[in-house]
């Protein structure tokens, strides 16, 4: 990796509150300056580019359209191959990003990856760079949403997941108990957990109006530990079933300290090699799309100019 | 038109969903109001089944909009504007075009984008009356 540039901050400054990854009209204004900055920061010239990779989906159609159109034009202008990338594969292959002058230990195939973000919760069997199989996913809300919505009930600002993590560090995870949603196999459901949490807060506030204020740390610690436990209730059997030695996490929620700590503990206990991406590669980023594009380039797996984005693209 | 349902259990949602699905034939935009946990997504799930949606239904909070495919090949849009501050943000994201597309739009947290709603739409208000019971009011605006 030579450069990894994000427009987020600039968009925020320009547009105030716009949720950066969603503003397709802002994307349109930012895409050329961002690509230009990435090329300059990498210290290369345009004619050294071997291929252009872009996100085909899943995502918001307006934003995907901007990237797809730009990538097509750029690849055509340079006379280089065009490569379509699945955003969810990108999250997993973020583990293979190599920074210039650094060596890193990477997972060995096959491995299992738990991808957790605001929009997704998946257990994926990764057989090779581009051979992946979704073993289970959420049937309703994503794990990140279970954090964000609980944060809202607690009166914390959106996205509240990182704040729950912050308060959880000072709390007792055994203070309150929640029950697990009943889902088959490796399927998750977080919608019921959200309702359970709301009823828990409502019932306790009826008895004590200052319940949240007086117990914020313990509530956050207990709820966070419960979500993490639920993830492991599905992850552990999946790993045992496939007998893999390497286990990875990916996606925005893999920045959660409760999840990171638990993975390290379980790994030590069960003899797994665990892989946690660097924070900048957990959240959505361009380097993960580029690294996926690199492996597709090695396979000569190219897209043609008739390709269109797909908001609901599957692995 | 104004119709009110008193629901004692989630099993009784079918009748409400049926009413909404019927109204969607002439009104492509349907707004669902109710506090978090009221059951907006649960009701939308049932409406989608009646609309013969073949894609899995999930929460659009993070992605703002989910696109589902119907057996007929048409799309249904499921919005959640909770993360947006106002109409301007929806317009900057190109979401206004989806609202005007004529496809069925099922909308949560529409209060963030009131100015973008068409002249005529259907409003579904869900209020929590007990742990499992709900009052659901359907109004043609």
> Are residues A148 and B61, on separate chains, in Cβ contact within 8 Å?
yes
Q: What is the CATH number of the domain that holds A191?
A: 3.30.420.40
Could you give the number of structural domains in chain A? 2
Determine whether A87 is exposed, middle or buried from the number of CB atoms within 10 Å of its CB (0-12, 13-18, 19+). Answer: buried
Where residue A7 falls (left for φ over 0; alpha for ψ -120 to 50; beta otherwise) is alpha
Contacts with A119 from chain B: Cβ below 8 Å:
62-63
pTM of the model: 0.86
B contact set with A (CB within 8 A): 36-37, 41-42, 55-59, 61-67, 69, 82-85, 89, 91-95, 97, 131
A40 shares a domain with A127: no
For chain B, the straight-line distance linking the first and the last C-alpha, in angstroms and rounded, comes to 8
φ, ψ of residue B59 to 5 degrees: the values are: -75, 130
Determine whether B111 is exposed, middle or buried from the number of CB atoms within 10 Å of its CB (0-12, 13-18, 19+). Answer: exposed
How does pLDDT run along chain A (315 residues), one tens digit per residue? 888 887 754 444 444 444 555 666 777 878 898 899 999 999 999 999 999 999 999 888 888 999 999 999 999 999 999 999 999 999 999 999 998 888 889 999 999 999 998 888 999 999 999 999 999 999 888 999 899 889 989 988 877 889 999 999 999 999 999 999 989 999 999 988 988 999 999 999 999 999 999 999 999 999 999 999 999 999 999 999 999 999 999 998 999 999 999 999 999 999 999 999 888 899 889 999 999 999 999 999 999 999 999 887 888
User: Distance between CA atoms of A200 and A42, rounded to whole angstroms?
Assistant: 51
A291 shares a domain with A261: no
> Are residues A118 and B89, on separate chains, in Cβ contact within 8 Å?
no
Residue A313, domain member (yes or no): no
Are the C-beta atoms of A194 and A149 separated by less than 8 Å?
yes
Q: What was the pLDDT predicted at A12?
A: 45
pLDDT tens, residue by residue, B116-133: 999 999 999 999 998 889
> Are residues B56 and A19, on separate chains, in Cβ contact within 8 Å?
no
Residue A251, domain member (yes or no): yes
A51 shares a domain with A128: no
Q: List the single best residue of A15, A16, A60, A142 to mutate versus B (max B Cβ within 10 A).
A: A60
> Are residues A19 and B89, on separate chains, in Cβ contact within 8 Å?
yes
Q: What was the pLDDT predicted at A235?
A: 97
At residue B92 the predicted structure's pLDDT band, cuts being 50, 70 and 90, is confident
Residue A16, domain member (yes or no): yes
A32 shares a domain with A47: yes
Q: Is A14 on the interface with B (CB under 8 A)?
A: no
Token pair of A189 as six digits? 């459901």
Residue A101, domain member (yes or no): no
User: Distance between CA atoms of A135 and A143, rounded to whole angstroms?
Assistant: 16
At residue B96 the predicted structure's pLDDT band, cuts being 50, 70 and 90, is confident
Strand locations in A211-301 (E): 246-250, 273-275
A27 shares a domain with A69: yes
A131 shares a domain with A73: no
Candidates A19, A26, A141; nearest CB to B59: A141
A152 Cβ partners below 8 Å, 6+ apart? A158, A160, B36
Are the C-beta atoms of A26 and B92 separated by less than 8 Å?
yes
How many CA atoms within 13 Å lie on the side-chain side of A239?
23
A126 shares a domain with A68: no
**Element (H or E) spanning A116, and its range?**
strand A111-116
A200 shares a domain with A189: yes
**Interhelix angle A161-168/A143-153, nearest 10 degrees:** 80
A75 shares a domain with A128: no
A25 shares a domain with A112: no
User: Distance between CA atoms of B59 and B39, rounded to whole angstroms?
Assistant: 12
Q: Tell me which residues of chain A, numbers 250 to 279, contact chain B at a CB-CB cutoff of 8 Å.
A: none
> Are residues B36 and A61, on separate chains, in Cβ contact within 8 Å?
no
Q: Interface pTM (ipTM) of the complex?
A: 0.72
Residue A310, domain member (yes or no): no
Residue A64, domain member (yes or no): yes
A163 shares a domain with A87: no
Going by C-alpha positions, the residue among A62, A52, A72, A49 that lies closest to residue A23 is A62
A244 shares a domain with A124: yes
Residue in chain B nearest A26 by alpha carbon: B92
Residue A311, domain member (yes or no): no
Contacts with B101 from chain A: Cβ below 8 Å:
none
Candidates A24, A140, A144; nearest CB to B93: A24
The range of the structural domain enclosing residue A216 comes to 106-279
Q: What was the pLDDT predicted at A15?
A: 44
For chain A, the straight-line distance linking the first and the last C-alpha, in angstroms and rounded, comes to 24
User: Would the CA dihedral through A310, B53, A187, A189 be positive or negative?
Assistant: positive
Residue A305, domain member (yes or no): no
Query: What's the gap in Å between the CA of A102 and the closest CA on chain B?
Result: 34
Token pair of A71 as six digits? 């990538």
Per DSSP, the three-state class of A129 is coil
At residue B84 the predicted structure's pLDDT band, cuts being 50, 70 and 90, is confident
CA B58: distance to chain centroid? 13
């Amino acid at each position: 990796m030579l450069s990894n540039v994000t427009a987020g901050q600039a968009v925020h400054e320009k547009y105030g509150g716009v949720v950066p990854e969603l503003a397709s009209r802002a994307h349109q204004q930012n895409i050329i300056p961002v690509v230009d900055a990435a090329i300059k920061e990498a210290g290369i010239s345009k004619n050294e580019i071997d291929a252009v990779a872009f996100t085909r989906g899943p995502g918001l159609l307006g934003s995907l359209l901007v990237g797809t159109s730009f990538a097509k034009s750029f690849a055509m202008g340079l006379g280089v191959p065009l490569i379509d990338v699945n955003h969810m594969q990108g999250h997993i292959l973020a583990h293979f990003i190599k920074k210039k002058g650094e060596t890193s230990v990477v997972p060995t195939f096959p491995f299992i990856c738990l991808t957790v973000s605001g929009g997704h919760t998946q257990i994926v069997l990764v057989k090779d760079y581009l051979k992946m199989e979704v073993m289970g996913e959420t049937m309703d809300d994503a794990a990140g949403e279970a954090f964000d919505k609980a944060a809202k009930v607690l009166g914390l600002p959106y996205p509240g997941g990182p704040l729950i993590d912050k308060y959880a560090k000072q709390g007792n995870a055994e203070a309150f108990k929640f029950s697990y949603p009943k889902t088959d196999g490796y399927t998750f459901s977080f919608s019921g957990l959200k309702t359970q949490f709301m009823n828990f807060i409502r019932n306790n506030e009826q008895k004590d109006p200052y319940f949240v204020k007086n117990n914020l740390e313990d509530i956050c610690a207990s709820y966070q530990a419960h979500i993490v436990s639920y993830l492991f209730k599905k992850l552990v059997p999946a790993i045992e079933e496939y007998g893999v030695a390497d286990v990875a996490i990916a996606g925005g929620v893999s920045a959660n300290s409760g999840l990171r700590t638990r993975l390290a503990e379980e790994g030590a206990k069960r003899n797994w090699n665990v892989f946690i991406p660097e924070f900048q590669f957990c959240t959505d980023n361009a380097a993960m799309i580029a690294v996926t594009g690199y492996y597709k380039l090695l396979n000569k797996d190219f897209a043609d100019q008739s390709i269109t984005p797909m908001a609901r693209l599957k692995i | 038109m104004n119709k009110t349902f008193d629901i004692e259990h989630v099993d009784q949602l079918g009748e409400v969903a049926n009413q909404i699905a019927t109204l969607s034939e002439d009104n492509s935009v349907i707004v669902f109001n109710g506090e978090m946990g009221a059951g907006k997504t649960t009701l939308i799930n049932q409406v989608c089944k009646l609309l013969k949606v073949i894609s899995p239904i999930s929460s659009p909070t993070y992605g703002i909009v989910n696109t589902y495919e119907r057996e007929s090949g048409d799309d249904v849009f499921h919005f959640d504007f909770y993360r947006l501050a106002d109409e301007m943000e929806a317009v900057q994201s190109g979401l206004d075009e989806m609202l005007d597309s004529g496809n069925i739009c099922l909308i949560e947290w529409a209060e963030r984008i009131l100015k973008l709603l068409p002249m005529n739409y259907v409003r579904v208000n869900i209020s929590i009356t007990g742990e499992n019971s709900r009052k659901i009011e359907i109004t043609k605006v």
